[in-house]
Chains A and B, each alone.
Chain A
Amino acid sequence: MSDTVSSDKLLREFAPQIEETGKLGKLWIAFLIAVLLLGVFALYWQVSRGHIVTGMRDNVVWGVYIVNFIFFMGISYAGALISGALHLFHAGWRKPIIRMAEFITIISLLIGPVFIMLCIGRLDRLPNLILFGRIQSPITWDVIAISTDIIGCILFLYLALLRDLGKMRDFTELKVPKWKKNLYKTLALGYTGTEEQQIRLKKATDIMAGMVIAIAIIVYSVLAWIFSVTLQPGWHSTIFGPYFVIAAVYSGTGVLIVAMYFFRRVYHLEEYITIKHFVNVGVIMLVLAAFFGYFTFSEYLTKWYGSEKNDEQLIKILFDDYYLMFIFSNYIGVLVPLIVVGFRKLRTINNITIAAFIVIVALWFNRYLIVVPTLESPYLPIQDARAAWANYSATWVEWSLTAAGVAMFCLLFTLASKIIPIVQVSDLKEEPKETGDIYLK
C-alpha cells in the first residue's frame, strides 16, 4: 500500500494549487482575460466591417490566421507524440511531465481550428462543409482528421486522468467547493483500482497511445497537403507531409519545456521536475532540431540549386524581404538547441528553457515564411499599385486575435491546473505488471 501513501502525500502537496488561487495568480488570470477581451473586440470589428480590416488581400489570401492555425495544431503534438511515445516505451521518468504534455495537446487542439474560422469569409455557411461536403477537397480531409484527433486526444487524456480522478474523489482532506468534489466523483466513473479495472485501463491506454500517435501524424500530414497539393511554388513539395510532422513535434517539445519551467517555478515542483527532465526532453528536442534542420535544408537547397524561374523568385523574396526572419527561423531556431543541449556544460534548466522559447518563436516564423512569401510571388507577377495587394502586413485586428489565442492557451492551461494536479499523482507503478504490452503480443 505504499503507492497509495505516496500519492496521498503528493495530493496533500498539490492541494494548495487546487484549493486556492493567490493574488498573483488572480492578477495573471485577470490579465489573460483582458487580452481575451481585446480579441473579442477585434473579432467584433472584423465581423462588422468585413475582412477588409485584416491585412489579407487578393494575392495574400491567407495570413497570420493560417500561421496560427498551423502553429497551434503543431504544438498539440507535444502530448500526442511525446506522451504517447513515452507511454509505449515505458519511460519511467515521464510521470511528472506527461500531464502537462497532454494538457498542451487538448488545449491547442481546441484553439487551432478557431483560427481557421477567423480566416473564413462566411462563417454563417460553415454547415455547408457537411451539407455539401466533397471528399475530394483536402479541407474535408482536414475537417475529418482534426475532429478525429480531438476525440482521440480527449479520450487519451481522460484515460490517463482516470486514476487521479479516483484518487481525488477519495481524498477527504481536499478543501474544495462542492461542485469540484461532484465533478471528480462524476468524472472518476466509479474507478476504484480493482485488478480488473487496472488491466482494462492499461489495455485501453495502450491502444489509445498508439492511436493518438498515428492520428496525429495523419492530421499534420493532411494539413501539409492543403499546401502541397496546390501548384504554388514553395508549396508544391513532396516532403511537406513529413516536414510538417517534424516541425510540429519540434515546436511541441519547445512548448512543453517552457510549460515545465513555469509550472516548476510557480507551483514549486522542483522536487519532481528536475534537470533530468529538462535534459531528457531537451535531447528529444535536439534530435528533432537536427531533423527539422535537415528537412528545411533539403527543401530550400533543391529549390535554390534547380532555380526554376518561380522558385528563384521565391528564394529572392525570402532573402531580400524576409532575410532576418529566414535566418532566425531556419538557422538560429535550429542551431541554438543543437548547441545548448549538445554541449554538456551548457545544459542548465535556464539555458534549455531559453533554447525552447527560441524554438517556439522560430517555428512560428517558419510557418509565416511558408505561407506568406509564396502568396506574394505567384506565377503571374503582381501588377497592382495598391501596396496591400502586393505585400502582406498583418493589422491590429489580426495581432489582437493572435494575442487572444495565446492568452486563451495560457488561461485554459492555468484553469486546468486549478482543477487537476499538473503532475500525475497516482504512481506509475500501479500499472499491472502481468498484462504485457498489447503491441508486443
Chain B
Amino acid sequence: MENKKKDDKNSRRNFLKLGILAGAGTVATGALIATGHNSGESGEKIKVLTTSGEVMEVDKNFLVLPPVGIKESHEGIPGRKFVMVIDLAKCKNARKCVEECQKGHNLPKGEEFMKVYLMQDSEKTAPYWFPKPCYHCDNPQCVSVCPVGATYKRSDGIVLIDNERCIGCKFCMTGCPYSTRVFAWKPDESYEIDQPYSPEKSVPGVEGTVSKCDFCPDLAREGKLPYCASACPMGVIYFGDIDEDVVTNGTETYKFSELIRDRSGYRYLENLGTRPNVYYLPPVDRQFPVERGLDGLDEEIKKNYDNTPYVKNLKDKEAK
C-alpha cells in the first residue's frame, strides 16, 4: 500500500486503511490519537471516524495504534473478511515472501510459515512454483480438533493461535491437511525478545507450542499488506477483503470476483471441504520458465527440491 499512485479512478485504493480505521475507531478512537508526544507533522492526513460518527482528518504521525490484547485478538477486526489470491503464473520462487515473513515473525532458521513448493500435478503436466501460506479455512479442521480452544477462527476469517494457551498436543498439525503448522521443538534465542506476546503478532514464539502463518493481522490493523505480499518482487500475492470484493498486491488492485472469474481462480484441494480463504490463479501464460526458480538459491534450500520428479529429471538429463 505504500507506493500507491494518485489514481482516483479506483477509489478502493484506500480500502484497507480507511476500513480498518473505521472499524478500529468504533472500538477505541480515543486511543488512536495520541496528542503531543510525536514531534512534527508528516503532512499526510488520514481520515478517521470518531465515536460520535464524524470523519476527522488527523496527521499520520499523530496516529498510534493501541496494543492489541488477548481479548481483541480473539475477536477479529470488525467488518473485515480477509482473502488472499496467489498468482501462480508470476511466481519464480524468489523466496522474498518466505524471508520477509521469517524476519517479520522472528522465526528461527528453518521454520517457515510461508513455504514454496515445486509442484507437478502428474507426470505429463507442467511443473510450477506453489507458495503456500495458511489457508485460513472457513471450515478449519485445526480449530475443530483443538481441545483447549488455543486455535480459533475470528470474525474476520483469520485463524489464529494463542501460544499462551496451546498445550502442544499437535492434534491440529495432524488435523490440517495442508501441512501448514509448525511446532517449536526446542527453546530458541529468537523467542527471547523483550516484547509482550500477542496472538496477532505470533511474537515472541513459545517453546512446545504450535504456530503458523497468521495473515499478519497486526499489519492489517495498520492498513498494511502482510509481509509476504509486500515483499514479493513479482506481485504474486494479492491480499484483500472478500466482502469489499477487492484484492491488491500493492501496485495492482483488482475486483476479487472479476479476477477469480477472468483468470479461473481455484482453491487447492477443494474436495476436502475445508473452504480455504486463499485462492490460486492457475500457472498459465507464465512470465518465467520454471527452472528460473532454481537459480541463485542457497545450496541448502535447493536441496529441498532434490526429491521432486522435475529436479530428478533435470539431473538425469544432465548426467546423460
Which A residues contact B (CB, under 8 angstroms)? 49-52, 56-59, 61-62, 119-122, 125-126, 128-129, 131-134, 136-140, 143, 226-227, 229-232, 235, 375, 378-386, 390
- For residue B89, CB closer than 8 A to chain A, the reply is no
Per the bound structure, the CA–CA distance linking A375 and B147 in Å amounts to: 20
- For residue B183, CB closer than 8 A to chain A, the reply is yes
Q: Which residues of A contact B304 (CB under 8 A)?
A: 383-385
- Are B170 and A121 closer than 8 Å at their CB atoms? yes
Per the bound structure, the CA–CA distance linking A137 and B301 in Å amounts to: 37
Per the bound structure, the CA–CA distance linking A383 and B311 in Å amounts to: 12
- Are A51 and B308 closer than 8 Å at their CB atoms? no
State which of B29-37, B172-180, B220-228, B240-248 sits at the interface with chain A.
Answer: B172-180
* Other-chain residue from A50, A131, A379, A380 in contact with B208 (beta carbon distance below 8 A): A50
> Is chain B's interface secondary structure helix, strand, loop, or mixed overall?
loop
Cβ-closest chain A residue relative to B115: A383
For chain B, give the interface size range: 35 or more
State which of B2-10, B75-83, B184-192 sits at the interface with chain A.
Answer: B184-192
Known: A134-B148, A379-B177, A381-B117. A139 touches B186 (CB 8 A): no
Cβ-closest chain A residue relative to B187: A50
Known: A62-B174, A122-B168, A385-B300. 13 other contacts (CB 8 A): A50-B187, A61-B183, A121-B168, A121-B210, A125-B168, A137-B146, A232-B177, A378-B177, A378-B179, A379-B179, A380-B132, A383-B118, A390-B307
Q: Which residues of B contact A229 (CB under 8 A)?
A: 144-145
Q: Which residues of A contact B175 (CB under 8 A)?
A: 230-231
Q: Which residues of B contact A386 (CB under 8 A)?
A: 110
Q: Which residues of B contact A382 (CB under 8 A)?
A: 179
- Are B207 and A50 closer than 8 Å at their CB atoms? yes
- Are A51 and B183 closer than 8 Å at their CB atoms? yes
Shortest distance between the CB of A385 and any CB in chain B (Å): 4
- For residue B126, CB closer than 8 A to chain A, the reply is no
- Are B145 and A121 closer than 8 Å at their CB atoms? no
- Are B166 and A125 closer than 8 Å at their CB atoms? yes
Per the bound structure, the CA–CA distance linking A120 and B169 in Å amounts to: 5
* Other-chain residue from B145, B178, B184, B305 in contact with A137 (beta carbon distance below 8 A): B145
Cβ-closest chain A residue relative to B152: A134
Per the bound structure, the CA–CA distance linking A136 and B166 in Å amounts to: 16
Known: A132-B165, A383-B305, A384-B304. A139 touches B145 (CB 8 A): yes
Cβ-closest chain B residue relative to A380: B179
Q: Which residues of B contact A381 (CB under 8 A)?
A: 117, 119, 307-308
- Are B171 and A51 closer than 8 Å at their CB atoms? no
- Are B167 and A125 closer than 8 Å at their CB atoms? yes
Of A230, A378, A379, chain B has the most CB atoms within 10 Å of the CB of: A230
Per the bound structure, the CA–CA distance linking A131 and B162 in Å amounts to: 15
* Other-chain residue from A143, A230, A383 in contact with B174 (beta carbon distance below 8 A): A230
- Are B146 and A52 closer than 8 Å at their CB atoms? no
- For residue B149, CB closer than 8 A to chain A, the reply is yes
Cβ-closest chain B residue relative to A375: B174
- Are A52 and B149 closer than 8 Å at their CB atoms? no
Which are the 5 A-B pairs with shortest beta-carbon distances? A121-B168, A121-B208, A385-B303, A139-B147, A52-B186
* Other-chain residue from B165, B177, B184 in contact with A121 (beta carbon distance below 8 A): B184
Tell me which residues from 103 to 140 in chain B have a Cβ below 8 Å from any Cβ of chain A: 110, 115, 117-119, 132
Shortest distance between the CB of A190 and any CB in chain B (Å): 42
